[in-house]
Amino acid sequence: MHSHEPALNLAEGDSFAIFFKRLLNADFIPHGHCYFWKPEIVWLHVISDAGITLAYYFIPLMLLYFVRKKKQEVPFHWMFVLFSAFILWCGTTHLMNIVTLWNPVYRLDGIVKAITASISLFTAIRLFPLIPQALTLKSSKELEVLNIKLEKEVTEKEMLLREIHHRVKNNLQIITSLLRLQSTKSIDPESKQLFLDSQNRIHTMALLHERLYQSQNLSSINLNDYFKELVRNLFISYGVSNEFIRFQVDTWDCVMEPEKLISCGLIINELVSNSLKYAFPEGRKGEIRVLLQKHSPKELLLTVSDNGKGFPNDIDYQKTNSLGLRLVRGLSEQLKGHLELKTERGTEFRVQFPISIK
């Protein structure tokens, strides 16, 4: 050891005044005997420990930020938290190396190192059983191959589903044509009307499958266009001119399951058909409205109304044996909805039903 003045030892009873006096002395080097009384070595250690401390504090912040943003996507995210704590306490030990150069807080330094050792050992113990699981994770190349395979399968299934919709639509159209041919052989007006009603019901379902087949998204269609075409077809089927009876269709934009769409389409078919057949006798002018509105966060309200002569008072729509209204009641039950009739202004049927709105 050189002959320079030794480092201050507070344990020997020197006062703080002497400590600060010596601290400001250019000849004073803390722990000088550890660094051969060379200031350049002292500052080399201080700067190095300071740099390591900053890096060790910065890395955990980045890891925690990453885990917070990608928590659902990153496997074993809790391990990132452990690593962050481990690195943070490692940085603290380097900070204590700087502190103890000027302040002999060795008990605190030992406590920090003990905490660091505990966290390090705990992280190592938790990491050991994690290795086999981590080895089973797919590499980026394997994931890319799997994604290509899945995309191919999805495309094939979409093509198959389109083909199914197309074939169902064609088969329903064949049935409609057969009913039309059969109706030409009937001379009974009531039988002809039954054939016509059946054709319209089948066309309602065929139209939906056609729309799904043509749609880019096989799970949804433009409801407004579908309902408009459905009503327009009924006007043509019953030979009704828009000059005498106008129609209005207004729908809330949402995605609905095909099963619910079929039920809604058939309800509209039955109620609009009834309006065209009975609401406007002897060339009476009027309007038919079809509305689909959001009734609550999880419910829709389907309204079919006309301003015609009104629903007969002597008929209970809940008990009548009319095939059309029986279908409306049954379809409303399929939708798990509530059917309601209002007769203040013409006839207005409402079906309120739950739906998973997207």
Handedness of CA 136, 140, 146, 151 (dihedral sign): positive
pLDDT digits (tens, 9 = 90+) for 143-202: 788 888 888 777 777 777 677 767 777 777 888 788 778 878 777 788 888 888 888 888
Q: Which residues contact 79 (CB under 8 A, 6 or more apart)?
A: 126, 127, 130
The pLDDT value recorded for residue 6 is: 43
Q: What is the DSSP letter of 4?
A: S
pLDDT digits (tens, 9 = 90+) for 302-352: 999 999 888 988 888 888 888 889 999 999 999 999 999 998 889 999 999
Cβ pair 79, 129 in contact under 8 A: no
Q: CA 23 to CA 101: how far, in whole Å?
A: 11
Handedness of CA 49, 54, 56, 57 (dihedral sign): positive
Length of the chain: 358
pTM above 0.85, yes or no: no
pLDDT digits (tens, 9 = 90+) for 251-264: 887 777 778 888 89
